[in-house]
Structure 1
Amino acid sequence: MDKQIIFEDGHIRAIFLKGSSKELVFSFGDLITRAKGLSINAEKSLEKFQYNVIGVMPKEKSWFPESSIRNMLEAIADFIAPFETRLGYGGSMGGYAAIKYSNLLNLKRVIALVPQFSIDPEDVTDLRYNMFFHADVNQNMKVQAKDVSAEREYIVVYDPYYDEDRAHYVKLQEVLPQVNTLHLPFTGHDAIAILASSELLNDFLTQEFDETYFYKKIRQVKKNSKFYYRKVIEKSLKEHRASLGKILKNNDLQLDSNFFDAKQKQQLIRSLLSNKQVDERDLNKLGVQINIPQESRSLLLDNYGHGLVFNVISQKIESYAEKAIALNHKLLIPIYAKGTGLVQIHLNDERYIVAMNDRLVMKLFKEQDALGVGMSPLIIKKYEDYFVVSYKNLNLASDEFGGNEFIGDVSETAKFVLELESDS
């Protein structure tokens, strides 16, 4: 691997990666892939196809100040002179730079993933990046007509449903003489991670633009991208819950148990179980391994009429509508309640105690087994007209969405009433 630093100042570092291509690729880093040793943005993909590359890596969150780029170009002019065909590639901050300096660097084609038009709040309101604008460094930073040319080809990839990036795209569209646009819906600002494919990057740089061809390639990449499905699922959780089950049914996923964080997993499972969209096999695709028990059911109802259950998937006490419990009775186990005593459930004809520690981690223990270190059993307290579930001096309270938390007092949301279910 033949690499060397060919320019550096306080804001950027330019690194040359020697290849065998007739083209020279300027690969601009972003906020994540900032200067670190001799690393170059998209290096693995570019090196695979033996490109000659100049990796322009930001050292600060300063959006490639024009003064730095001009000083770089002056310093490397003789170095890049032999390369008649120059290409630009970058995402986000790097996508901005590839477009902004396309004339200055004489780029034949520019590939910009979710690029900015400017981070100057006078140009575009974008709370993600406006904080990084500094007038003394980023003077006159927006992309202008003088920065671009009809002689160059611009390909922009972005999510048209993501308002923040769409605002930049609309501004760029007004300035660019022509732009070939590829949409990547429901991915937000993460096109860079999803399209991290050596074959696709090579096509972007050299393949004649054909919308049908590129969308076919993008679909292939998305189909094999776990990251893409995570973004789609996150989007669906908020706006298109009915489609979650279809995503699992129609795609051959096999995610590991750490693919979603605990909060995402709980939201996802709640949505799927509430709508009875999936079975055990579908949950396994999400990396959720379950041991389905048989149970004897008895419901404690919260203040909103939801049944209190132990969710064997999330390993937490939650509240669900009675219909959802009936549909998912092997996964949502009603809390056993009779009188004052320990919180218990029945699994496989055995009685389990529900215990918790101060970090709010719940675990099940068979009646005859010893509790783990730091674990204390949850207690059901029976009063004249209601029950209370307690952990030490805290009491379980439910909200209207089925969420539960432990609070200090006994409010109306911390009072539960017993309703026995029929066997039918």
Structure 2
Amino acid sequence: MDKEIIFEDDQIRVIFLKGTSNELVFSFGDLITRAKGNSINAEKSLHKYDFNVIGIMPKQKSWFPEQSMLAMFEQIQSWIAPFATRIAYGGSMGGYAAIKYSNLLNVQRVVAMVPQFSIDPTDVEDPRYNMFYQPELNSHMRVQLGDVAPSREYIIIYDPYYAADRAHVECLKPLLPSAKYLHLPYTNHDAIAVLASSALVHDLIRHPFDAGYFYQSMRKVKKNSKFYYRKVIENLLPRHPSALGKILKNNDLMLDGQFFDAKQKQVILRELLRNKQVDQQDLSKLGIEVTMPQEKRSILRDRFGHGLVFNVISQKLESYAASAIALNHKFLIPVYAKGNGLVQIVWNDQALIVVMNDRQMMKLIRTEEAVPVGHHPLLMKKYSDYYALAYKAQYLSTDEFGATSMAEDLHSDGQFVAQPEGQI
């Protein structure tokens, strides 16, 4: 690649990437893609189509201060003068700059994903970015009428259901009455990651605006974006739990085991198991591999009427309603009431002991295995009217949602009654 740094100060670094295109693309970086060497925002996609590019990369979280941009503009005249067709491209902080400096750079098209109107708290209250506002650098930094022109084409991509970004777009609308808006629902502020595609970048820069065409192109990218499905699941699950099962059934996802964090995974698993939307193939799509256990019957009941089980997917003791256990018996293994002794389950006809460390991380070990360093077996204690599960001097208890925790004292939440599974 033929690249050269053509301007630099304390706030920005500007790199020219030589190509063969008639267009010149101003590619603005964001908070994540700040200046690093001579890298340019969206460089791989832009170089693939051999665009001439000026990459304007922020060195600080300072939203492209006007004095830096004016100084840059004076110095790069010889680089931009040969290009009559110019496009500004960027997301978030870069999307703001693409709009803010569209008149200065005399661009014909602006592609701005989830842009800001301002980070000045007196303009827009936004705790995500107000902290970066510096009066000495950003005074009067909001997008103003003098920054934009109706003759320029503005394409703005955002999630209309995400209030934080929608507030900025609503401020921009009066200034950009002819702007075109493309909606990317349920992605929050992550349009840049979801729409990472060389072909789509090419179309956004070159293709005449056609909403139907662009939505079709965006759908193709989304369908192959693991990040998109993660955002959709995060947003839809609390409100439309049945949607997750449909997503898994209708899409060929193949996520790795680290795709969801532990908290996300636990919420997803509980919802799938509660509504029996899952089979082993679906779990594999989510990056969750599990060996199928044998079905067993004996169980302990907590004070909410739920059965105590070991969830072999989340690797935790939890409690579930009888219907959920019956429907998901391959994943939810009952804890048997066997008097005083170690807490264990039977999986694939093999007895396994439940051990835990001080961070309440549980795991299963075979009865003949050495206990891992830092772990201790959970003990089952039999009292006259109930059973209790103990770890050191703490007792396991459950809440109404089936989650378990450890308490210093033994209360009713930690008392379990032995009862045949079918009677729970």
User: Shorter-normalised TM-score: what interval?
Assistant: over 0.9
Structure 2 unmatched ranges of 5 or more = none
Superposition misfits of 4+ residues, deviation over 4 angstroms = none
Show CA shifts across 1:375-408 (max 9, x none).
Answer: 3210111223322211112221222222112222
* 1:256 has 2:260 as partner: no
Partner of 1:152: 152
Q: Secondary structure at the match of 2:112?
A: strand
Deviation for aligned residue 1:78: 2.3
Partner of 1:308: 308
Deviation for aligned residue 1:250: 0.7
Partner of 1:86: 86
The 5 Å alignment of 1:1-400 reads: 1-400=1-400
Query: Is 1:159–1:187's contact at 8 Å kept on the other side of the alignment?
Result: yes
Deviation for aligned residue 1:287: 1.1
Show CA shifts across 1:167-219 (max 9, x none).
Answer: 11111111113111100001110000011100000000010000110000000
TM-score (norm 2): 0.97
Q: Secondary structure at the match of 2:25?
A: strand
Query: Is 1:301–1:416's contact at 8 Å kept on the other side of the alignment?
Result: yes
Deviation for aligned residue 1:336: 1.0
Query: Is 1:148–1:177's contact at 8 Å kept on the other side of the alignment?
Result: no
Q: Secondary structure at the match of 1:200?
A: helix
Query: Is 2:290–2:313's contact at 8 Å kept on the other side of the alignment?
Result: yes
Q: Distance in 1 between matches of 2:207 and 2:343?
A: 64
Q: Secondary structure at the match of 1:110?
A: strand
Query: Is 1:117–1:143's contact at 8 Å kept on the other side of the alignment?
Result: yes
Query: Is 1:337–1:344's contact at 8 Å kept on the other side of the alignment?
Result: no
Q: Distance in 2 between matches of 1:369 and 1:313?
A: 21
* 1:416 has 2:416 as partner: yes
Structure 1 pair 245–318 and aligned structure 2 pair: CA distance change class (3 A): same
Q: Secondary structure at the match of 1:185?
A: coil
Deviation for aligned residue 1:419: 2.1
Q: Secondary structure at the match of 1:161?
A: coil
Moved more, 350-359 or 267-276: 350-359
Show CA shifts across 1:313-346 (max 9, x none).
Answer: 1111112122111110111011111322111112
Show CA shifts across 1:62-88 (max 9, x none).
Answer: 111111111110111222111111100
Q: Distance in 1 between matches of 2:226 and 2:84?
A: 38
Moved more, 355-364 or 331-340: 355-364
Deviation for aligned residue 1:414: 2.2
Query: Percent identity over the alignment?
Result: 63
Query: Is 1:298–1:420's contact at 8 Å kept on the other side of the alignment?
Result: yes
Q: Secondary structure at the match of 2:53?
A: strand
Query: Is 1:149–1:177's contact at 8 Å kept on the other side of the alignment?
Result: no
Q: Secondary structure at the match of 1:175?
A: coil
Show CA shifts across 1:5-39 (max 9, x none).
Answer: 11111111111111111111100000000011101
How many residues are aligned here? 424
Q: CA RMSD in A?
A: 1.4
Deviation for aligned residue 1:423: 9.1
* Equivalent AA in structure 1 for residue 331 of structure 2: L
TM-score (norm 1): 0.97
Query: Is 2:237–2:243's contact at 8 Å kept on the other side of the alignment?
Result: no
Show CA shifts across 1:95-130 (max 9, x none).
Answer: 000001100110110000000111111111111111
Deviation for aligned residue 1:368: 3.3
Q: Distance in 2 between matches of 1:117 and 1:244?
A: 34
Moved more, 256-265 or 239-248: 256-265
Show CA shifts across 1:337-366 (max 9, x none).
Answer: 132211111222332211122343322223
Structure 1 unmatched ranges of 5 or more = none
Query: Is 2:319–2:402's contact at 8 Å kept on the other side of the alignment?
Result: yes
